[in-house]
Structure 1
Amino acid sequence: MENLDANVNQTQNGRARRGRLSRHNTPNDAPVFEGRKIPAYELLDAPSLARIEDQADWILSEIGIEFRGDDIALDLFAAAGATVDGARVRFVPGLARELCATAPTQFDLHGRDPGNTVTLGGDNVVLMPGYGSPFVTDLQAGRRYATLKDFRNFVKLSYASPWLQHSGGTIVEPTDVPVNKRHLDMMLAHLTLSTKPFMGGVTSPERAQDSIEMARLVFGRDFMDRHAVMQANINVNSPLIYDHTMSGALRVYAAANQCVCVSPAIFAGAMGPLSPAAVAAQTLAEAMAGIALVQLVRPGCPVVFGSFHSTMNLKSGALTFGSPEANMTTMALSQLGRRLGVPTRSGGGQITAANAPDGQAMQDSTGAMWATLLSGAHQVWHAAGWLEGGLVMSYEKFVMDLDHCGAMLKMLNGFRTDDEAFGRDAYLETGPGENFLSTSHTLRHYASANFAPATPEAGPYEMWVENGALTADQRAAIRWRQMLSEYQQPEMPNDIGTALSEFVAERKASMPDEWY
């Protein structure tokens, strides 16, 4: 344990922690993402942003936020100057923002392998897989309930990909494990099958504490008291409610100095008014209340201003993703997060309501992902695999999304304008009307000049037919199986692996199976 703790504490001189790609997992010819070079898009001007912030203050002061069943949280708010009436907490204008001020603007999220440590904030971008799907699907086995094997598979795929810098959290729900024990198996998978940062359990304060204790076995209590290695996903029960499960888990992670991501979930017209401005203001209000609680528990604890929002088909009530209204809200929220001074998690990612990894799925996902990355968001959840509004993780779409993640990261990298980039020697080797395919400049850069997707390309029509006329999802099916067959589990000291297994076994033995 001491050896691993020392390894995690190593200072990597000269390494820019930029939500970058792991050198260990990056192919030799893959571009390394070293931080956003394209400026974040500013959708709204300063007066418009100020009006949204004023509306958030109006919500907090006139309507308030309820913290149900959490007397500790209510006492903390009352001591900080908020007005507490039963479960309802109201903040005078400016108070919630003031309480958020101790949260860091930027911080490191440490991986078990220091080479996989990422930075949240600044010009950094961290991508992670989908979250929370109870079902999985693939072309061979079809749609089915997710199992622990599926969960472990997606942890492996996330670790193997150079385009995801984060192992995720509840990538899928392992429904073959009792509800009250799942968090133990999921934590064990994240800690042993990957060395990237991860998320812990939040479905009860006790499960949150189990997650913290398991991480301490790997990273050491002292290290975690000073550094974040994991995150909590705290979903607000929008509109305007934190239940005792979420606020209790929030307090557990905050007390341990681990990153808390506060994520309101507002579906316009259902959990809040229809307009993007109203959704943005309510999201800000709900998030500031949660971030304020984190800082009251432990000033300086790292946080992420999260969001999950979508529009609805107002004729059917079905959720829609990648819509222009939702995408504009994503852009506005990233601006509001920068003004609040904390890293932001996007409301987008590669999300879709499509039922298959088809054209609709990729169109929805591309629209949402473009808006998310151009907005300046620092962390992108649901960057790979999402189908059916989050009900399903698709193996094939996961792989297709990975290719798009890589392409988008290369775009954010920008391009060089130094002497080598202009390739003057190539002109001197050729003449007018001659091609550049065999020049020294081309031979120096052909392997890395253009982004190359990992999913096999179809090729010209005749070649495509000769090779079986495989569609994109069929080619992706070949790729994810190849990735799993080539996966190599990272090493872990035997004593730590044993301690983790014993912890899981003891905790499981201490509780009855609960399936609901």
Structure 2
Amino acid sequence: MHSLRGPGLENLDISVQPRSRCASRRGRAARQSVDTPVIAPRSRKIPAYALLPDDVLAAIEDQADWILATIGVEFRGDQTALDLFAAAGAVVEGERVRFAPGLARRLCATAPAEFKLHARDPANTVTLGGDNIVLMPGYGSPFVSDLERGRRYSTLEDFQNFVKLAYSSPWLHHSGGTVCEPTDIPVNKRHLDMVLAHLTLSSKPFMGGVTSPSRAQDSIDMARIVFGAAFMKNNAVMQGNINANSPLIYDEAMSGALRVYAAANQCVCVSPAIFAGAMGPLPPAAVAAQTLAEGMVGIALAQLVRPGCPVVFGSFHSTMNLKSGALTFGSPEANLVTMALSQLGRRLGLPVRSGGGQITASNAADGQAMQDSTGAMWSTLLSGAHQVWHAAGWLEGGLVMSYEKFIMDLDHCGAMLTLLQGFGADAETLGREAYLETGPGQNFLSTQHTLRHYATANYQPEIREAGPYETWVEKGSPTLDQRAEPRWKQMLTAYRPPPIDPAILAALQDFVAARKSSMPDEWY
């Protein structure tokens, strides 16, 4: 037995059986399926790209302070939040809260720069902040699609399928949240089924319900059944996604859910959602400043509820087609904002959730979809963002989770994580012995150096290559999405749930049943 080591694997000990010389020559895919699990790197080895100089960043920060001091942010229907801000020195007039320059930033200062997000399986625990990176699937789609059944409203079965796929993939570190809306379950009850799926079908970190304070509390209560209340007092095991109602509003549902998560010491991800030209001015600098202003206010509230509560400075932003009003994704302007916000988050001293991921406005898993997604993912990962939402499955501006694109995106996630590891130079990687074994004009395919490294030298996608043109035509000229279809079906067939204590499973099921029976069905 020996331990698997390599870039990004410093904290993992995975025992594997020694391979015979014959077995080592079967190829990477065969070897992985037999005895070596693929493990996604959880940190970057190349530096984050600094897009903007300090004077430009300072100007954006000054603009955020101007917005908070001059315009302010409204907290509608949440007197508790208003009282907390007033006690902290903010100016509260009705539901409008204004902050003297620098106050919101000072209130954020108690949030940790780095923290662990504990998983049910400790091997899947991740760290947010520093050089760490966490990829997770798409969020919030009411529809799903696949090549066999087409576009349709998503169901609980679809939701469970995507949780299984995210758990089965080595390239996603996180189970996600509302990966797709299970529209066959009443609105007021579906959070229970979603959290139950995350806690039982996966053992990776997850997100709970946030659409009301009571649903946030249900999510926390369910997590306590699994992790224990004592453990959760001092450790984050889940996240809540809090969106500001841009421009410059937090409604009672969002600020109330934020307070519930913060009071329980669970991670609050504050994500303003600004579509340039509709929820804020058009220029990237203005979008970045407004995002910073709205984000700091939400983070400040979490710290006022519980100093030291783990938070993530998030964003979700996009440009618009100003001729039609349609949203666009993966545009250069939005990607620039993504890069700027990672710099601003580092200056704030907080983990950053990117506004990107593999997002697209395309209606199909086609060339446009992958072009948009690649642009957004490149800027996100190079920026140094710590948590990447929408890393797999997103179509139609987030309206659809696509089974085929999910698989296509997973392959790209693996390639991007490999790229973030960079490479070093030593005797083994420079391969001098291979030159001594062969000679000018000779190939290197049979050298001992090549035989040692061929199985792991290059990243190998899971979707089969199309092959030479003639072979591809003989097989029916399958496009990438068509080659992705059998892969997700194979993954679901091969899925095995992670083990869970039967008593804990029964307690979770009893909790869900009791909560559902206590409330009427609400479909809107």
The TM-score with structure 1 as length reference comes to 0.95
Tell me the equivalent position of 1:373.
381
Report how far residue 448 of structure 1 moved.
1.0
Which moved further from structure 2: 32-41 or 320-329?
32-41
1:453 aligns with 2:461: yes
1:435 aligns with 2:430: no
Tell me the equivalent position of 1:483.
491
Q: CA, structure 1 residues 400+461, in 2 after alignment: closer, same or farther (shift >3 Å)?
A: same
Tell me the equivalent position of 2:407.
399
CA distance in structure 1 between the aligned counterparts of 2:198 and 2:107, rounded to whole angstroms: 33
Tell me the equivalent position of 1:492.
500
Tell me the equivalent position of 2:470.
462
Q: How does 1:107-506 map to 2 (within 5 A)?
A: 107-506=115-514
Report how far residue 514 of structure 1 moved.
0.2
Q: Is the 8 A contact 1:19 1:125 kept in 2?
A: no
Tell me the equivalent position of 2:84.
76
Amino acid at match of 1:54: D
Q: Is the 8 A contact 1:231 1:259 kept in 2?
A: yes
Report how far residue 394 of structure 1 moved.
0.3
Please give the secondary structure, in 2, of the residue aligned with 1:508: helix
Number of paired residues?
Answer: 504
Q: Is the 8 A contact 1:19 1:118 kept in 2?
A: no
RMSD of the alignment, in Å?
1.8
Report how far residue 29 of structure 1 moved.
6.9
Report how far residue 244 of structure 1 moved.
0.2
Which moved further from structure 2: 415-424 or 452-461?
415-424
Which moved further from structure 2: 461-470 or 310-319?
461-470
Q: Is the 8 A contact 1:350 1:401 kept in 2?
A: yes
Q: CA, structure 1 residues 15+194, in 2 after alignment: closer, same or farther (shift >3 Å)?
A: farther
Q: CA, structure 1 residues 175+21, in 2 after alignment: closer, same or farther (shift >3 Å)?
A: farther
| Identity percentage of aligned residues | 76
Amino acid at match of 1:430: T
Q: Which runs of structure 1 show a deviation greater than 3 angstroms over 4 or more consecutive aligned residues?
A: 14-27, 29-32
Please give the secondary structure, in 1, of the residue aligned with 2:92: strand
Match of 1:41 among 39, 49, 52: 49
CA distance in structure 2 between the aligned counterparts of 1:313 and 1:223, rounded to whole angstroms: 48
Report how far residue 107 of structure 1 moved.
0.3
Report how far residue 24 of structure 1 moved.
10
Per-residue deviation, residues 107-132 of structure 1 (Å, max 9, x unmatched): 00011000000000000110000000
CA distance in structure 2 between the aligned counterparts of 1:457 and 1:468, rounded to whole angstroms: 14
CA distance in structure 2 between the aligned counterparts of 1:389 and 1:380, rounded to whole angstroms: 16
Per-residue deviation, residues 77-131 of structure 1 (Å, max 9, x unmatched): 0000000000000000000000000000000001100000000000011000000
The TM-score with structure 2 as length reference comes to 0.94
CA distance in structure 2 between the aligned counterparts of 1:280 and 1:459, rounded to whole angstroms: 44
Q: CA, structure 1 residues 182+264, in 2 after alignment: closer, same or farther (shift >3 Å)?
A: same
Q: Is the 8 A contact 2:40 2:172 kept in 1?
A: no
Please give the secondary structure, in 1, of the residue aligned with 2:116: strand
Please give the secondary structure, in 1, of the residue aligned with 2:350: coil
Please give the secondary structure, in 1, of the residue aligned with 2:420: helix
Report how far residue 417 of structure 1 moved.
1.1
Amino acid at match of 1:325: E
Per-residue deviation, residues 211-231 of structure 1 (Å, max 9, x unmatched): 000000000001111100100
Report how far residue 35 of structure 1 moved.
1.6
CA distance in structure 2 between the aligned counterparts of 1:251 and 1:475, rounded to whole angstroms: 45
